[in-house]
Amino acid sequence: MTLTLEEFNQCISDLYEQSQQIHDRWQLQKTSKGSYLVYSFVDQDHLKHEFHIVYSESYAVPVLYFNVSRLDGSLLSLDDVWQLFTHRKTSKMYETITQQEHSILHRPFFVLHPCHTENVLKQVANQPIKKKFLFWLSIYGQSVGLPLSVHYAID
Amino acid sequence: MGNASMDDGDITRELWQSRIPICFILSDDDMSKVNRSELPEPLYLMLSRHLYFPCFIEKIFRYYSTYYKENLADTTNHLSIHNLWLEYESIPLKWHYPIGVLYDLYTSSLTSSTCHLPWQIIVHLSQFPENELIRFPDRESIEAYYMSTLKEADALKHKGQIIGDMQKRDHKQLWNSLLQDKYETFWNINMKLMSYTDNLLYFRYIPYRIYLLDRPYLQKLFAPYDSEHDRWMTLNDLVQYSLNHELHCEHFANGKKMLNTNVNDYQVIIHGVQPPLHTPVQWLSEYFSYPDNFLHICLVEKRT
């Protein structure tokens, strides 16, 4: 199941509106290359987590980019990131997270690979677009520590 | 486009074999930390155009580390294989792009054809520019990056059907034969990715990226055949479309130099050659793609 660009833009716009209403942190960035959502927070170890939701034209699905940085601005490596999420390091690991050039900002971000997204979304194939989007976000976001309030699931 | 003729197969083999002579020179900054009385000589390597610089990080580091035997233990020096990066004329080389792409992009505008071979690249062993360059801490990370690009190409061409149906060992075979320079073994698998699906006689979209100096690459959805007008789209069509779209996106207000959208003002370079602009992109996609199945196209402004 895929999303058109229009559907994607509608989803992130709706999420942003809801975020405003519940005083959450999502920000909506609009650029000439496309719009995307940003969420960032600093954890108790003073690490800054930054998440971007960007549309992939190639896969026609949303993609989750993220970076984790220290106070001095230095970025965590992939190894550091995996330790953070307490996943065991296996060879499958590299299949799911790679560093890529952010398709709008063109600088390095980690990305959860979108090649399985269409399969993941099949589970909610008959749901409205918005539910599909939230389902995707909750699954992908959860694996990399993105907090998602239950309020978003409530219409 | 039909079955591959003898000539087309020769083309893919020729492209597979093309290499670039590279001269790696240690940066002044790192040179000053060398603790031997003799300074490192430049390192000369002949590298495949379609491989990636990170494949050679270990080799390059091993060569220079002999000059730092004592200093390597000193962690305050930050001399580490993990901080190795490459630079050309003050630009950190985006080494997730194939070697040939970087070479064509940065050296094609030079006037004399003799002054840029071997290609001189500066090696840095410290101060990795992590906000600009992707890290490849090991071979697996390069393989993962290659596979992710390959998957994106198949998503564009076939909605991911062909690569999705492949066994894991086929994926491994592609990467290993690329690393081991095994043309036949590579193309045994790769030709499956060049086939057609959905009763089409062409790919759904062409995987391509267009590189210009001082700009991020251009990539859009582009179909190789215009069924409405019964016309195969050409290289000229693809470049023109991408340039027009980019201009449309550009902010004039930020003082950026306005993009020249006249295709004839550029050399259009793929694998170091300029294919005729009337070449159908479907053919180019099948025979002129890099091993990651993308057409990496460099646009270099012609000197007037």
Q: For residues B92 and B86, is the Cβ–Cβ distance under 8 A?
A: yes
3-state secondary structure of B75: helix
Within this chain, do residues B185 and B229 fall inside the same structural domain, yes or no?
Answer: no
Distance from CA of B128 to the nearest CA of A (A): 11
Q: What is the pLDDT of residues A67-109, one digit of tens each?
A: 999 999 999 998 888 788 765 444 444 457 889 999 999 999 9
Q: Which residues contact B72 (CB under 8 A, 6 or more apart)?
A: B65, B79, B80
> Rounded to whole angstroms, how far apart are CA atoms B128 and B137?
12
Q: Is A70 on the interface with B (CB under 8 A)?
A: no
A62-69 average pLDDT score: 95
Q: Is residue B271 part of a domain?
A: yes
Distance from CA of A106 to the nearest CA of B (A): 7
CATH entry 3.30.1460.50 includes domain A5-146: yes
Q: Is A74 on the interface with B (CB under 8 A)?
A: yes
pLDDT in tens, chain B (304 residues): 555 555 778 899 999 999 999 999 999 988 888 877 788 899 999 999 999 999 999 999 999 988 876 665 565 556 789 999 999 999 999 999 999 999 999 998 766 555 678 999 999 999 999 999 999 999 999 999 999 999 999 999 999 999 999 999 999 999 999 999 999 999 999 999 999 988 889 999 999 999 999 899 999 999 999 999 999 999 999 999 999 999 988 865 465 668 999 999 999 999 999 999 999 999 999 999 999 999 999 999 997 6
Within this chain, do residues B244 and B276 fall inside the same structural domain, yes or no?
Answer: yes
Q: Is B220 on the interface with A (CB under 8 A)?
A: yes
Within this chain, do residues B206 and B287 fall inside the same structural domain, yes or no?
Answer: yes
Cβ burial, residue B254 (10 Å; 0-12/13-18/19+): exposed
Q: Is residue B5 part of a domain?
A: no
Give the alpha-carbon dihedral of B131, B137, B140, B141, to 10 degrees.
Answer: 0
Query: Within its chain, how far is the Cα of A151 from the centroid?
Result: 18
Of B148, B160, B164, the CB nearest to A98: B148
CATH number at residue B225: 3.10.20.90
CATH number at residue B53: 3.10.20.620
Within this chain, do residues B142 and B46 fall inside the same structural domain, yes or no?
Answer: no
pLDDT at residue A91, rounded to an integer: 42
Kindly report the backbone phi and psi dihedral angles of residue B152, in degrees, each rounded to the nearest multiple of 5, phi listed first. Answer: -65, -40
Q: Last residue of a domain, which of B124, B150, B170?
A: B124
Strands A108-112 and B43-48: unpaired
> Rounded to whole angstroms, how far apart are CA atoms B94 and B125?
16
Q: Which residues of A touch B251 (CB under 8 A)?
A: 32
CB-CB under 8 Å, A107 with B132: yes
Kindly report the backbone phi and psi dihedral angles of residue B222, in degrees, each rounded to the nearest multiple of 5, phi listed first. Answer: -145, 120
CATH number at residue B176: 1.10.246.190
Q: What are the residue ranges spanned by the domains of chain A?
A: 5-146
- The alpha helices in B122-200, defined as continuous H runs, are 139-158, 161-165, 168-179, 183-193
Q: Is residue B9 part of a domain?
A: no
Planar angle of CA A128, A134, A135, nearest 5 degrees: 85
Q: Is B156 on the interface with A (CB under 8 A)?
A: yes
Q: Look up A11 and say whether it is catalytic.
A: no
Q: What is the pLDDT of residues B197-255, one digit of tens each?
A: 888 899 999 999 999 998 999 999 999 999 999 999 999 999 999 999 999 888 654 65
Within this chain, do residues B112 and B188 fall inside the same structural domain, yes or no?
Answer: no
Give the range of the structural domain holding residue B174, as residue numbers without chain letter: 138-199
Of A32, A95, A101, the CB nearest to B144: A95
3-state secondary structure of B243: helix
Q: Is residue B2 part of a domain?
A: no
B15-54 burial, b at 16+ Cβ within 10 Å, e below that, comes to: bbeeebebebebbeebeebbeeeeebeebebebbbbbbbb
Distance from CA of B97 to the nearest CA of A (A): 11
Q: Which residues of B touch A106 (CB under 8 A)?
A: 216-217
Within this chain, do residues B19 and B120 fall inside the same structural domain, yes or no?
Answer: yes
Q: What is the pTM of this model?
A: 0.93
Beta sheet of B85-88, edge-to-edge order: B43-48, B19-26, B119-124, B85-88, B91-92
Task: State the DSSP H helix or E strand holding residue A18, giving kind and residue range, or none if neither.
Answer: helix A5-21
Number of domain units in chain B: 3
Sign of the dihedral through C-alpha A130, A135, A141, A145: positive
> Rounded to whole angstroms, how far apart are CA atoms A152 and A53?
16
- The alpha helices in B159-182, defined as continuous H runs, are 161-165, 168-179
Within this chain, do residues B94 and B160 fall inside the same structural domain, yes or no?
Answer: no
More confident residue, A132 or B4: A132
Distance from CA of A24 to the nearest CA of B (A): 27
Q: Is residue B159 part of a domain?
A: yes
CB-CB under 8 Å, B133 with A57: no
